[in-house]
């Protein structure tokens, strides 16, 4: 990797992708070259990702369970990146961007065969690596099946069965209360005006009847706890999520 790539300041250029609203993706960077690992991690953090580091095969496998994507070097101590990829894909499939100094097509084909989704050959641009990470995550999100459950803090919402659990205890909601909770849970921390909630949940386009929203929020708090939904005075409501 050239010096201008390795030491490229992660804040010297604007992000190449967009973060998923309300969700911070965790990337595991597995690289035994500490200079490269540090540069990649700094760039990805500047892009809005949580980043964890591993520098050998065994620690990579141990940490991969918490990752949404793995940036994985082929040449590692302990056991190599191909074996790391094979093991983590067997335990919990996750997108893998493989880094290799080899130009042998056979090595690249083996990497793809054991579960890698994309690869970069060294030397590479830190900016290109960040773009590949964003592209891989977008591809996974587009191909994912529509969710049947929403989990926010200790609240579990089963969309198919229309059931809601708070800390393992079932809460019995009316259909409108359920739809209101789902709308807020799909946008954690985002403040929703009363007018917006009336339009989205009740289908009332003119914004009249904001007291209806207030009464349903009061009912949700009574059934799920007063700490779940935050009031933003003069604006509306937001689902509270611990940071």
Write the CATH number for 179: 1.10.10.10
Q: What is the pLDDT of residue 207?
A: 64
* More confident of the two residues 71 and 148: 71
Are residues 212 and 158 located together in one domain of the fold?
yes
Q: What is the pLDDT of residue 17?
A: 37
Query: Looking at 47-56, 84-93, 104-113, 204-213, which range is the least confident one?
Result: 104-113
Are residues 41 and 58 located together in one domain of the fold?
yes
pLDDT band for position 72 (50/70/90)?
very high
Are residues 11 and 131 located together in one domain of the fold?
yes
Average pLDDT over residues 82-91: 89
Interatomic CA distance for residues 29 and 54, integer angstroms = 6
Does the structure show a pLDDT above 60 at 8?
A: no
Q: What is the CATH number of the domain that holds 124?
A: 3.40.50.2300
SS (H, E, C) 125-138: CHHHHHHHHHHHHH
Angle between helices 175-185 and 210-224 (to 10 degrees): 90
Over the stretch 139-169, which tens digit does the pLDDT of each residue have? Answer: 777 655 566 889 988 999 998 888 999 999 9
| Structural domain ending residue among the three candidates 100, 125, 143 | 143
Are residues 117 and 212 located together in one domain of the fold?
no
Are residues 24 and 134 located together in one domain of the fold?
yes
Query: How many independent structural domains does the chain possess?
Result: 2
pLDDT over 70 percentage in the chain: 82
Are residues 12 and 102 located together in one domain of the fold?
yes
| Structural domain ending residue among the three candidates 121, 143, 165 | 143
Does the structure show a pLDDT above 80 at 7?
A: no
pLDDT band for position 137 (50/70/90)?
confident
Range of the domain at 229: 149-239
Interatomic CA distance for residues 31 and 36, integer angstroms = 7
| Structural domain ending residue among the three candidates 143, 178, 206 | 143
Are residues 171 and 135 located together in one domain of the fold?
no
For residue 231, give the H/E element and its range.
strand 229-232
- The residue assigned the tokens 């809460």 is 171
Are residues 122 and 13 located together in one domain of the fold?
yes
pLDDT band for position 229 (50/70/90)?
very high
Over the stretch 180-219, which tens digit does the pLDDT of each residue have? Answer: 999 999 888 889 999 989 888 887 776 666 788 898 999 9
* Contacts for 36 with CB less than 8 Å, ≥ 6 apart: 1, 6
3-state DSSP assignment of residue 66? helix
Interatomic CA distance for residues 26 and 197, integer angstroms = 31
Are residues 114 and 18 located together in one domain of the fold?
yes
Does the structure show a pLDDT above 50 at 30?
A: yes
Does the structure show a pLDDT above 50 at 179?
A: yes
- Per the CB < 8 A criterion, the answer to whether 62 and 88 are in contact is no
Whole-number average pLDDT of the chain: 83
Does the structure show a pLDDT above 60 at 22?
A: no
Are residues 135 and 195 located together in one domain of the fold?
no
Are residues 25 and 120 located together in one domain of the fold?
yes
| pTM: predicted TM-score of the whole model, two decimal places | 0.54
Are residues 108 and 192 located together in one domain of the fold?
no
Q: What is the pLDDT of residue 14?
A: 35
């Amino acid at each position: 990797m050239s010096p201008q790539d390795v030491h490229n300041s992660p804040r010297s250029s604007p992000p190449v992708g967009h973060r998923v609203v309300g969700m911070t993706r965790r990337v595991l960077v597995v690289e035994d070259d500490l200079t490269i690992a540090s540069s990649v991690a700094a760039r990805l953090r500047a892009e809005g990702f949580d980043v964890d580091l591993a520098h050998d095969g065994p620690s990579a496998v141990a940490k991969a369970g918490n990752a949404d994507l793995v940036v994985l070097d082929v040449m590692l101590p302990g056991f190599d990146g191909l074996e790391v990829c094979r093991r983590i894909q067997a335990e919990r499939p996750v997108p893998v961007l493989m880094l290799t100094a080899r130009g042998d097509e056979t090595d690249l084909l083996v990497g793809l065969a054991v579960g890698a989704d994309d690869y970069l050959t060294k030397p590479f641009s830190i900016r290109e690596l960040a773009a590949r990470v964003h592209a891989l995550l977008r591809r996974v999100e587009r191909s994912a099946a529509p969710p049947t459950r929403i989990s926010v803090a200790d609240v579990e919402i089963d969309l198919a069965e229309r059931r809601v659990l708070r800390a393992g205890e079932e809460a019995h909601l009316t259909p409108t209360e359920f739809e209101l909770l789902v709308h807020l849970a799909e946008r954690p921390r985002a403040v929703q005006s009363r007018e917006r909630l009336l339009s989205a949940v009740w289908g009332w386009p003119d914004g009249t009847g904001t007291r209806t929203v207030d009464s349903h929020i009061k009912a949700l708090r009574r059934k799920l706890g007063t700490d779940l939904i935050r009031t933003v005075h003069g604006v509306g409501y937001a689902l509270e999520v611990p940071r």
